[in-house]
Chains A and B, each alone.
Chain A
Amino acid sequence: MAHTVIGGSIVIDGEVTGEEALVIQGTVKGRISLQEQLVVEESGVVEADIETQNVDVSGKVTGNILASEKVEISSGGRMVGDIKAPRILIADGAIFKGNVDMDV
């Protein structure tokens, strides 16, 4: 579990890059660039462009997502932005506004 957790009271303004899983319970503004999974938990707020492998959105995301594998917006998730990924899942109850591009 050598992953990164951004706690609920943390606000990051800038760029987060990494080669491991990132869990966001707090706020990240700027840019996120990962090579693994990004989890935006219910308390998480992301105002950033995201580039990663997998994204699981249970919180709020404002920005564009470019995922190499999968983007999932869970039922509590709210997202505004464009998604480009081979697999995109939008659960019942999720709120989403933006473009979806499955590279078809």
Chain B
Amino acid sequence: MNESTTVIGERTTINGNLEGDEDLVVHGRIEGGISLKHTLTIEPTGVVVAEVQVRNAVVSGVMAGNITAEDAVHITAQGRMIGDIRAPRVIIVDGASFRGRVDMGDLDMPRASGSAEDVSRPAPVAARRVPQAISTGKGAVQEKDAEKAVAPKPAVKPKPAAKRKPASKPKPAAKSRSTKKQSAPAKSKSKPKKGGSKKKAPAPKAPSVGRRKKARKR
């Protein structure tokens, strides 16, 4: 209808119900109820003590009562509000004061939670897998092994066998060598991890790498 705006002046008080199909700007005071199909703006001088149903509400003044908005409720830095807000979008700015409940709607929640779960659950799993591979694969050899294990799935049988062989063989060899070298404790610690191809035991690793390379070639 009208694109006009209703203005409640600073020195005007309305006691009762107000409903309409246009914007409402409150510099003054309204007590009772407000039902609008557009935007309610409570200016810094404005005071609204009412049950409010609107499309949008912008609270820069004082609002006491509940707001139900189809779209959004903004509480600006100057805004002070006590009451419950029910709106799909609620914006509370730094400096605003507010006490009450916020309900962004039951309809949107299933979508949001569902999508969040769908996205978030797979994401962490993938994230966990990747970091693990990376972390364990600090040694370049291990990374390569991981890549191979993942990529050439069609030739599954030969590869695991190859892996097992090098893994098992180097350990006893490494142990025997380490014991011989008398640096047994450190090496034994690193060896059981399989990923123990870290700095401490370069000698035992070299043979295992060679074997692994052979296995790869195969």
Contacts and interface: CB of A to CB of B under 8 A. Distances in A.
A14 B2 contact: no
Interface size class of B (residues with CB under 8 A): 20 to 34
B11 A25 contact: no
For the complex, would chain B's binding face be called helix, strand, loop or mixed by DSSP majority?
Answer: strand
B6 interface: yes
A9 B14 CA distance: 16
Interface residues of A, number: 24
Contacts of A21: 9
For the complex, would chain A's binding face be called helix, strand, loop or mixed by DSSP majority?
Answer: strand
Nearest to B12: A18
B24 interface: yes
Contacts of B21: 9-10
Contacts of B9: 2-4, 18, 20-22
Contacts of A6: 6
Contacts of B11: 2, 18-20
Interface in A55-88: none
Given A14-B14, A17-B13, A5 B22 contact: no
